[in-house]
Chain A
Amino acid sequence: MGDFMDFGRWSYVAILVFVFLGSIWLEVFLRSRVLRRPKRVLFTIFPVLFPFLLWDAYAIGQGHWYFDESRILGIYLPADIPFDELLFFIVIPLASILTLEAVRSVKGSKSRRWLVGDETT
């Protein structure tokens, strides 16, 4: 499974691009309107970074998981966290928000059964 997707140093990032492209179309075709709420996106993703980068730092320090250094960018944050991981913790929450809002779009925001919890009524 190693060769068909050899993007060299960009291999990790290529997977994130796959996730990003696989979710961002919801913004257009399902009108998820997530990017039109940039402050809320920032307020959501920024606090998520801290516990998960801390977890990442601990796991890397303990050797729970480790990376193929030839297929990550080679830029590191403190505690030997690959920069690619920071991108991961931005792209994945964004994709999950896009998914939630796309489901709301399809289900309609007026159905009681499908309430998200931020409705005013």
Chain B
Amino acid sequence: MTYTTIGVLAVLIVVFFDLFAVKTRMVTRPIFWLSYAIIVFFQLITNGLFTGTQIVKYDGSAIIGGSSPADTAPIFLGDGRIAYAPVEDLLFGFSLILLSLSLWVFWGRRGVDRTPTSGPPIWRRNN
């Protein structure tokens, strides 16, 4: 299986896990998507650092785009890449984040350290 195939499968499996296995239904919640929007912005920066500095390289036969060049940074945008990294990384990241947050909420529901809950930010009084 290619990275592309595994990435798509991983997203499907984790969405199924969230909706039907543990029924945390994160993908139906605005708070998940707002959190994800923040996280994916920083994911692109982090991925860009890993891939742009060539700490991590990818084989073109496993991804939509071509192989990472031998000794120079890959293209920033295009050829199946976004911020130097393969677009497949977005599938990888989404499944990692959704699984983490779904499990986090699952354990909270089960009463494992449900509290103390977060908030308010320090600039707001009370509590």
- Residue ranges of A at the interface with B (Cβ–Cβ < 8 Å): 1-2, 5, 11-12, 15, 18-19, 22, 28-34, 36-41, 43-45, 47-48, 51-52, 55, 58-59, 62-68, 71-72, 89, 92-93, 95-97, 99-109, 113-118, 120
Q: Are A118 and B35 touching (Cβ within 8 A)?
A: no
Q: Majority SS of interface residues in chain A?
A: helix
Inter-chain contacts of A43 with B (CB < 8 A): 103, 107, 112
Q: A19-B42, A65-B57 are in contact. Are A37 and B116 (CB under 8 A)?
A: yes
Select from chain A the residue with minimum beta-carbon distance to B38. A99
Q: Are A31 and B105 touching (Cβ within 8 A)?
A: no
Q: Are B2 and A15 touching (Cβ within 8 A)?
A: no
- Residue ranges of B at the interface with A (Cβ–Cβ < 8 Å): 2-3, 6, 10, 24-26, 29-32, 34-35, 38-39, 42, 46, 49-50, 52-59, 62-63, 73, 84, 92-93, 96-97, 99-101, 103-105, 107-109, 112-122
Q: Are A64 and B118 touching (Cβ within 8 A)?
A: no
Q: Are B46 and A15 touching (Cβ within 8 A)?
A: yes
Assembled-state Cα–Cα distance A18/B109 (Å): 31
Q: Are A67 and B55 touching (Cβ within 8 A)?
A: yes
Q: A63-B62, A65-B58 are in contact. Are A31 and B53 (CB under 8 A)?
A: no
Q: Are B25 and A44 touching (Cβ within 8 A)?
A: no
Q: Are A30 and B105 touching (Cβ within 8 A)?
A: no
How near does chain A come to B120, taking the closest CB pair, in angstroms? 6
- What are 9 residue pairs bridging A and B, where the CB atoms are less than 8 Å apart in the complex? A1-B53, A1-B73, A1-B84, A15-B50, A15-B55, A31-B120, A63-B59, A117-B26, A118-B105
How near does chain B come to A43, taking the closest CB pair, in angstroms? 5
Assembled-state Cα–Cα distance A55/B93 (Å): 13
Q: A30-B119, A105-B120 are in contact. Are A120 and B31 (CB under 8 A)?
A: no
